[in-house]
Amino acid sequence: MPNSPKLSRRSGDPGGEDSFAFRGSDVLLQAWRDGLRPDPALTVSEWADQHRMLSSRASAEPGRYRTARTPYMRDIMDALSPTNPVQRVVFMKAAQVGATEAGCCFIGFVIHHAPGPMLCVQPTVEMAKRASRQRIDPLIEESPAIRDRVKPARSRDAGNTMLSKDFPGGTLVLTGANSAVGLRSMPARYLFLDEVDAYPASADDEGDPVGLAEARSLTFAHRRKVFLASTPTIRGMSRIEREYEASDQRRFFVPCPHCGTMQWLKFERLRWDKGRPETVRYHCEACEQEIAEHHKGAMLAAGVWRATATGTDPGTIGFHISALYSPPGWQSWRDIVRLWEAAQGNDDALRVFKNTVLGETWTESGEAPDWQRLYDRRETWANGSVPEGALFLTAGADVQKDRVEIDVWAWGRNLESWLVDHIVIDGGPEKAETWTALEQVLAKTWQHANGAALKIARLAIDSGYESSAVYTWGRRVGVGQVSPIKGVEGFNRSSPVSGPTFVDATEGGKKVRRGARLWTVAVSTFKSETYRYLRLERPTDEELAEGIRFPAGTVHLPSWSDSEWCKQFVAEQLVTVKNRRGFSKLEWQKLRERNEALDCRVYARAAAWIVGADRWSEAKWRDLEKQVAATDFASASDPEAGQIRRIARRPRRIIKFSGLN
């Protein structure tokens, strides 16, 4: 062995050649020999079965990890092994089917057997910190094979921090998709992109987070491994669906216990007696025999993944699975049926069911309702311009070149709404008179059916045209009643309004040290919501007389709204278009030129979100009802509940809401 260490004989002669000998020579030689021995040729799933331990902090089933518990995860994990030629693995799935644990097994395998730089991306930096505490730390602490390879966490040791874990030969960095700095922080051979459909459209305005992250791995060429996993969201907007449809679209085929026919499980094949989820059974698509749930364990063990399409990239493979495959003891078919029945009649609940249970995208219904139908069912409410049931007002203002259009909407429980006024201020934003007139709108009151006088709780004004003028006016009036907004495309149901952020503005050529507060609104979310509310079936006059209430979200239009306004209200529709790469996306397109009524509705709806109507407790709603129905003025001690004050020599009560959150 010409490259072996040269070791001398030990003797008592201090001046001889062997004076350079040391007592650790045997240990050094053995370590050198161990280095020549190749690592066991394990796949990720084999490594997990041998070395992975689950903590009670991170798993409902603590103890040794068993791939056999979720057999459908074996091929997915093994595709992430260095011996597999695949570079990108796409997993579109239901919630809680084991995808994140598979990603943790991937991380543990890299630390132990294939070290290199690795990037784990969560939707936000805060979620990355949570994943570090709840997933990564238990993975390291409970698995002896990797525990000693990661430095223990110490306050002064940068080798093991919340978002960075060093190990021999590599490092694991956790970051959020909302941080462009984190996404471009280092080259990465391995990527774990978790819940990609929850990523923002752009990371700090620097581009698609998935694209930024994948650019980190390109220098590793064929040696890179990218794992994209997510529950899907909205069709045309879903990243994971787009990636899956470009792949070979693998499905997990399981055998029928009666005839042996291989098939992938579909929700449509479940049968049950209505209202009795416990009677559910699956019907084989070949022999139509009933399959009970106790067969599922054996079916999963005998299942195989099969490609159902030809992928556009041979280096990418895609997998899809629903909660129908959840192993025994997890989500049962009975639970799935119960969720389905509970979701009927509620689009939001049905969307959650499709996304999290079936692992499929939700198709938004963006077809424009018939304006004539809206016109024909206009209503007349007496005793004031604000009807019974309405509790507060918001307004949306659309700034045009020669005018400002404002719609005032009243809101009640469950987002039931009434249009109470439409105002047009002649004059462009360059005229001081325009802004003076807009301030007069803020000071105006509208009479409630019970005699109270309501003021606008919040006015949201679009800043897309002449932004600096809008910011200047909003700053002068104050943040308590006015919110400049900026509309952005895309859907964001969890948080359709974000902010506020401070923006710089110029006033008379002088830089303002602190800009106005700007809110960002995902307009597609509120447009789709409005159209969904317009399609709700309404109770008949007889049902109303019997006490049947209007459905949640019902939109009421007054008799004075004309045909032009109704046409503007439904002036857009949601269509699916293809981009240059051939991927589908959803886009709102105009059916006619003027659409101010729809825009003002979206802005007023955003104002209702800003004041907190989507998050108020039952106690707050009751308090608002008491204030509107009060026969005497109320205390102003609670700014969140609103303020009622008496105006001298006027019989009406003035209700002014401020500070609502």
pLDDT digits (tens, 9 = 90+) for 579-590: 665 556 777 888
- Residue 422 lies inside a defined structural domain of this protein: yes
- E-strand ranges in 7-163 read 53-54, 63-64, 88-93, 118-122, 160-161
Spatial CB neighbours of 59, under 8 Å, sequence gap ≥ 6: 101
- Residue 447 lies inside a defined structural domain of this protein: yes
404 & 438 share domain: yes
- Residue 649 lies inside a defined structural domain of this protein: no
| Model confidence band, residue 404 (pLDDT cutoffs 50, 70, 90) | very high
Rounded to whole angstroms, how far apart are CA atoms 413 and 420?
16
4-18, 219-233, 251-265, 283-297: lowest mean pLDDT where?
A: 4-18
β-strands 446-447, 555-556: how paired? unpaired
- The pLDDT score that the predictor gives to residue 189 is 93
- The pLDDT score that the predictor gives to residue 568 is 93
pLDDT tens per residue across span 85-138 = 999 999 999 998 989 999 999 999 999 989 999 999 999 999 999 999 989 999
- Rounded to 5 degrees, φ, ψ at 517 are -90, 120
- The pLDDT score that the predictor gives to residue 35 is 59
261 & 406 share domain: no
Cis preceding-peptide flag for 500 (omega within 30 of 0):
yes
Rounded to whole angstroms, how far apart are CA atoms 394 and 489?
22
What is the identity of the amino acid at 74? R
Rounded to whole angstroms, how far apart are CA atoms 100 and 648?
64
Greater pLDDT, 54 or 412: 412
- Torsion, CA 232, CA 234, CA 238, CA 243, rounded to 10: 70
Task: Calculate the alpha carbon distances from 415 to 202, 390, 587, 605, 616 in Å.
Answer: 30, 10, 25, 9, 11
Asked whether 633 and 644 are in contact (CB, 8 A), the reply is yes
- Residue 585 lies inside a defined structural domain of this protein: no
pLDDT tens per residue across span 245-271 = 999 999 999 999 999 999 999 999 999
pLDDT tens per residue across span 483-539 = 999 988 777 766 788 888 877 545 555 555 566 788 999 898 899 889 989 988 888
389 & 479 share domain: yes
71-80, 275-284, 338-347, 502-511: lowest mean pLDDT where?
A: 502-511
> What's the whole-model pTM score?
0.66
468 & 529 share domain: yes
What is the biggest distance separating any 2 CA atoms in the chain, rounded to whole angstroms? 116
276 & 423 share domain: no
- The pLDDT score that the predictor gives to residue 315 is 93
The mean pLDDT of 261-289, rounded to a whole number, is 94
Domain count for the chain: 3
192 & 217 share domain: yes
408 & 516 share domain: yes
* Angle 275-276-280 from CA coordinates, rounded to 5°: 125
Q: Is the pLDDT of residue 653 over 50?
A: no
CATH number of the domain at 67, please. 3.40.50.300
Greater pLDDT, 548 or 337: 337
pLDDT tens per residue across span 306-364 = 999 999 899 999 999 999 999 988 999 999 999 999 988 777 788 899 999 999 998 76
448 & 355 share domain: no
pLDDT cut 70: percent of the chain above it: 85
- The pLDDT score that the predictor gives to residue 598 is 95
280 & 408 share domain: no
User: Which residues constitute the domain of residue 136?
Assistant: 44-249+309-321
Rounded to whole angstroms, how far apart are CA atoms 336 and 23?
67
288 & 211 share domain: no
- Residue 12 lies inside a defined structural domain of this protein: no
Task: Calculate the alpha carbon distances from 80 to 107, 110, 495, 553 in Å.
Answer: 10, 10, 34, 47
- Residue 573 lies inside a defined structural domain of this protein: no
Spatial CB neighbours of 475, under 8 Å, sequence gap ≥ 6: 505, 512, 515, 516
| Model confidence band, residue 37 (pLDDT cutoffs 50, 70, 90) | low
408 & 554 share domain: yes
77 & 184 share domain: yes
Instruction: Say which DSSP state 386 is in.
Output: B
- Residue 640 lies inside a defined structural domain of this protein: no
- Residue 656 lies inside a defined structural domain of this protein: no
